[in-house]
Chain A
C-alpha cells in the first residue's frame, strides 16, 4: 500500500498516540487533532487521503464535524471510531457522512485494512463493468468469471464475495469487512465461518493454477492480488 496522509481526530491522547505510531509504522503520514475545533481546522487547511474521527469529541462531536465538512464540499473518506456499537449508532454515523464505522475496542489491523480500502475506493470511483486481477476476470453484467480464459462456476454468494475481494484487490480485507459487505452482518459470529467460504473460493479460483491469488494475511484477514 502506497503512503497515505491520515488525519486522526481523537480526544484520548494516549489512544491517538498509539494510533499515530501504528499508522506511521505502516508507512503513512499522520496528523493528530485532540478536539473537534482543531480537527475541523486541519481538515479544512490540508488535503488528507482519509480521516479517522472519534464520534464523541469535546468542543464539537464527530457527527456534526463530518456533517459540516460534507456540507462544505469536503469528500475525504471518513472512518468513525465509536464506543457506541449498536446498529442504530452505526446508521447514524454513516448518515452524517461517514464512510465506515468501527466500534471500540478494535484490532489495529482491522482499522488499517479499513482505511486503506477507504482511501483506495476514492481513487477508483468510476463505475466499472469488468474487474480484472492478474489473469482473473469478472464480468459484472454477464455475472461470469474467467481465470486464464477458463470459465469458473460460482454460486451467487461466492460471486459477491469474489467481487468484493476484486474491488479491493491489493488491500487487506478482514473477516468483519466481508461479513459486513457481503452478508450485511454487523456482528461477529462466534465461529470463523468466513474462513470456510474463502477455502471454497480458493478451491474454485486458485486450486488448478500455479500462482494463487487469494493470500492469507496473518492476524488480519485476506488479500486478493496478482503475483509480482
Chain B
C-alpha cells in the first residue's frame, strides 16, 4: 500500500475523489435546503391560514366565537397545533398551552419555546414555534405549531443525505483505487517487461490492450523501439559471428602457410618469396572482407538521413555502366544501358553508387560468355537484369545475409557480402531490393521511394 500512495495514478485518483466528493456535497446541500425549506414554508403557510380563520371568527362572532373555534381546534386529537387566547392580566381563556411562553420574538415575529406536552404526535417535550398578536380589548392570541414533526423530517433528510454521501464517498474511493490499480497494473506490466529486457532478454515485448489509449500507444512505441534495438543487436551479433566463423578460416590458411614455410629450413629464397606473396594475397583478401563487413555495419548503424541530398539516379547508373561496360564486353557479354527517365531521389550518392556497382559486378561476374546484361533506369527504379543462372525463389532472402553464397557461385571469386551491402543501402534509403526471375537469369531492382 505505501507504494500505491507514491504512485502518480493514486495521486490523480485522490485529487479526483476530493473534487468528486466536494461536488456531491454541494449538490446534497442544495437538496437539503430545498426539501427542509419546503417543509418549513408549508408550516408557516398553515399557521398563516389558521390565523386568518381565527381572525375571521373573531370578527364575525366576537370573543366567544374565537374561544369556541380555539377550543374545537385544540381538542382535535393528535394535533400539532398550539393555540392560546389570553385575557388581559394573564388569564388563559382557551387553548392547549398552559401559559404564555417566555422569551422575546425574533425579528420575523416568531416565538421559540419548548412545550412539555401538547398531546401532539411526539407525546413528549418538543420545540415549538408560534406567532402572537393583540386583539382589541387587551386580548392576545397565540398560534403555533409543535416543531417535533418538522425536526424529525429534517433529521430524516439529513440522515438520508448523510447515507447518500457516505455511499457515494465509498464508491468514489473504491472506484479511485480500482482505477489507479488497473492503470498501475498496466504500467507495472510495462515495468516488468523493461526489467526483463534490462536483464538481457531482448525478445520481451509489452502486451498491448489494443484500445489505442495513451498507455497502449506507449506500449506500441516501446515495442517499436525494442524491435529496432533488437535488429541492431542482431546485426552486431551477426557481424561478431561472421568475424568468428568466416574470418577464422582464411586466417588459419594464412597462418598454416607461414608456419609450414618456416618449418622447412632448406628452402630456396624463391620459395620464401612465393610464400610471402601468397601470404600477402591472403591478407589482402582478409582485409577486403573486413572492409566490406565494416561498411555494411556502418550503413546499418546509420540512423540519420539528414545528410541525404538530391541524387540523379541516371547519373549514378551511367557512371557505374561506364565502369563495368568494358569488363562485360571483355567477358563476351552484350551490355546495354537504358536510361528511360532521369529520376532525382533523396539519398547518399556514394552509397547508391556502390549499391548499383555491386549489382552490376554480380551480373557481369555470374553471367556466362554470350549472355547479356541490361541496366535500366525507369521511375524511381534501377534494374540490373542478366541472363545468368539467377537465384532460386527459396534462396532470395538467404542471399541477402552476410557470407551466404549459392553453391553455383562457389567457383567464382567473391566474399558473399555484395548483396548484403546493397540490401543495407536499400534499407537506409527506405527502398526495396527486389530480386526476380529474368527467365532466364536474375532481375535485381533497387526501388527507391518517391522523393
Contacts and interface: CB of A to CB of B under 8 A. Distances in A.
A193 B324 contact: yes
Interface residues of B, number: 29
Contact of A85 (B294, B307, B319, B414): B294
A186 B350 contact: yes
Q: Which of B319, B326, B364, B418 has the most CB of A within 10 A?
A: B326
A191 B350 contact: no
Interface residues of A, number: 22
Interface stretch (B81-89, B122-130, B353-361): B353-361
Given A85-B294, A190-B415, A183 B350 contact: no
Contact of B298 (A86, A184, A185, A191): A86
A105 B287 CA distance: 8
A195 to B, nearest CB: 9
Contact of B357 (A103, A157, A189, A196): A189
Interface string A71-92: 0000000000000011110000
B357 A185 contact: yes
B117 to A, nearest CB: 105
B interface majority secondary structure: helix
A18 interface: no
Interface in B121-149: none
Given A186-B350, A187-B295, A193 B323 contact: yes
A190 B414 contact: yes
A185 B353 contact: yes
Contacts of B298: 85-86
Interface string B296-328: 001000000001000000000001001110110
A184 B319 contact: yes
Nearest to B417: A190
Contacts of A87: 348, 350-351
Contacts of A187: 295, 350, 354, 357
Contacts of B319: 183-185
Nearest to B286: A105
Nearest to B354: A187
A197 interface: yes
Contact of B413 (A105, A183, A189, A190): A190
B361 A157 contact: no
A200 interface: yes
Contacts of A105: 287
Interface in A87-107: 87-88, 103, 105, 107
B291 interface: yes
Contacts of A199: 326, 330
A50 B369 CA distance: 47
B327 A193 contact: yes
Contact of B327 (A86, A185, A188, A196): A196
A196 B330 contact: yes
Given A85-B294, A190-B414, A191-B364, A185 B354 contact: yes
A196 B307 CA distance: 34
B48 to A, nearest CB: 98
Interface string B390-427: 00000000000000000000000111001000000000
B35 to A, nearest CB: 80
A interface majority secondary structure: loop
Interface in B244-266: none
A188 B351 CA distance: 12
A14 to B, nearest CB: 17
B361 A200 contact: no
A197 B307 CA distance: 33
Given A87-B350, A190-B418, A191-B364, A185 B323 contact: yes
B288 interface: yes
B295 A197 contact: no
A185 B324 CA distance: 13
Interface in B70-104: none
Contact of A88 (B307, B327, B361, B365): B307
Q: Which of B284, B298, B350, B354 has the most CB of A within 10 A?
A: B350
B361 A189 contact: yes
A196 B298 CA distance: 30
Q: Which of A103, A183, A193 has the most CB of B within 10 A?
A: A193
Contact of A189 (B284, B287, B323, B326): B323
B291 A191 contact: no
B326 A188 contact: no
Contacts of A186: 350
A187 B272 CA distance: 32
A132 B288 CA distance: 37
A187 B421 CA distance: 12
Interface of B: 284, 287-288, 291, 294-295, 298, 307, 319, 322-324, 326-327, 330, 348, 350-351, 353-354, 357-358, 361, 364-365, 413-415, 418
Given A86-B298, A191-B364, 9 more contacts: A87-B350, A184-B350, A184-B353, A185-B319, A185-B350, A188-B291, A189-B357, A190-B365, A191-B365
28 contacts: A85-B294, A85-B295, A85-B298, A86-B298, A88-B307, A105-B287, A107-B284, A183-B322, A183-B323, A184-B319, A184-B350, A185-B319, A185-B350, A185-B354, A186-B350, A187-B350, A187-B357, A189-B323, A189-B358, A190-B288, A190-B413, A190-B414, A191-B361, A191-B364, A191-B365, A196-B327, A199-B326, A199-B330
* Shortest Cβ-Cβ A-B pairs, 10 listed: A196-B326, A87-B350, A196-B327, A157-B322, A187-B354, A193-B327, A196-B330, A200-B326, A193-B323, A86-B298
